[in-house]
Amino acid sequence: MKRIGVLISGRGTNLQALIDAQQQDRLGAEIAVVISNKSKAYGLERARTANISTEIVTKKTHPVREEHDKRVVEILKQYNVDIVVLAGYMRLITEHLIKPFENKIINIHPSLLPAFPGIDAQQQALDYGVKITGCTTHVVTIEMDAGPIILQEYVPIFDTDTRDTLAERILEKEHEILVETVQLLSEGKIHIQGRRTKINGE
């Protein structure tokens, strides 16, 4: 079974979706460690409740970006991690993390990429006035939010939506496609061909 390292910064509802799937034997993988760059991230509580090992690497403990990522890699190796999941990890990562886990790092993003990369994609979508947005899982490359896309799900935007109501509806879909992406990746069913990914059985 593949071993997963989950990187978080905040409340960790995506992490919780992975934990729930694992507990219901739907993940096809084991969460080996949860690493947070925020010592007070609520996601750490979720991991502890599920008896999953936690580690904290912050700006304070590792002020130099390169050293920060090297420490994260050290931890991931220590836990024999095969696949890294960025689940609300609000930090740019460097080649020091990407190289050792090339094509093995995935990210969940709350928009239909390539629309609205970066911070607060939900507000960006509202501000732009699009009628449909959604979420994307993708392979992480050095360019932010720009790696090969794995799965996407759409979410309509209603006139009455606020940033929070929209974010809430997108989250429900995020949880679904993130779990599915980890399942597919663990089963070796995702093949990267240039910018495109091919999924076995599709």
Number of residues that bind ligand GAR (CB under 6 A): 14
Residue 148 engages ligand GAR in binding (rule: CB under 6 A): no
150 close to 181: Cβ distance less than 8 angstroms: yes
Residue 147 engages ligand GAR in binding (rule: CB under 6 A): no
Q: What are the tokens at 45?
A: 């509580």
- β-bridge pairing 83-86 and 105-109: parallel
Using CB under 6 A as the criterion, what x/- string covers residues 104-123 for binding ligand GAR?
A: ----xxx----------x--
Select 14 or 197, whichever has its Cβ closest to ligand GAR. Answer: 14
37-66 binders of ligand GAR (CB under 6 A): 43
96 catalytic residue (yes or no): no
3-22 binders of ligand GAR (CB under 6 A): 10-14
114 close to 122: Cβ distance less than 8 angstroms: no
171 close to 10: Cβ distance less than 8 angstroms: no
Give the nearest distance from C-beta 124 to ligand GAR in angstroms: 10
DSSP 3-state of 192: strand
Number of other residues whose CB lies within 10 A of the CB of residue 91: 17
Residue 182 engages ligand GAR in binding (rule: CB under 6 A): no
Which of the residues 62, 68, 96, 109 is marked catalytic? 109
Closest CA to 178 of 50, 87, 101, 92: 87
The catalytic residues are 109
List interacting residues with ligand GAR (CB under 6 A): 10-14, 43, 87-88, 108-110, 121, 171, 174
